[in-house]
Copies of this chain bind each other. A is one copy, B any other.
Amino acid sequence: MTSAAPISALTRGRAVSEQVMPGLEAALAAKYDQYLPGFSEWQIATVYGGPYDRDGVDFKTRQIATVAALAALGQQTRPQLKIHVRAALDAGWTPREVAEVIMQMALYGGFPAAINALNAAIEVFEEAEDV
């Protein structure tokens, strides 16, 4: 009778993603579903109905953790890093805080990864200022 958890994975994923990145599922569907039926639903359920919808650690912490990881993984995650820098700002982190965490990643992912991530983050900071 209770709605089993996995149902709410997609439903809750949609709720989370609509709040954090309005229009994401539609954009994913338009781009990928012709090649990969159901991909957009799977990603929404897995990512936004997964860790980002879980209790156990607050949402704001999750956003800075993602920024840290993407910065350390290097330039190859640039588009996703920019999305999550924006999400970190939306979650209440200041540009300074985001930049501090990225700088710290020089110790773990190396200076090139950190510098390239700072460059990506600054683009987001400056877009945010333009608004």
Q: What residues of chain A have their CB less than 8 Å away from a CB belonging to chain B?
A: 4-11, 31-32, 35-39, 41-43, 45-47, 49-52, 54, 56-57, 61-62, 64-80, 95-97, 99-101, 103-113, 115-116, 118, 121-122, 125
Contacts and interface: CB of A to CB of B under 8 A. Distances in A.
Contacts of A106: 43, 51, 110
B103 A51 contact: yes
10 contacts: A4-B7, A5-B10, A32-B122, A36-B99, A42-B103, A52-B104, A69-B72, A74-B76, A77-B112, A80-B115
A64 B61 contact: yes
A78 B112 CA distance: 9
Given A5-B10, A77-B75, A101 B41 contact: no
A11 B6 CA distance: 9
A128 to B, nearest CB: 12
A35 B96 contact: yes
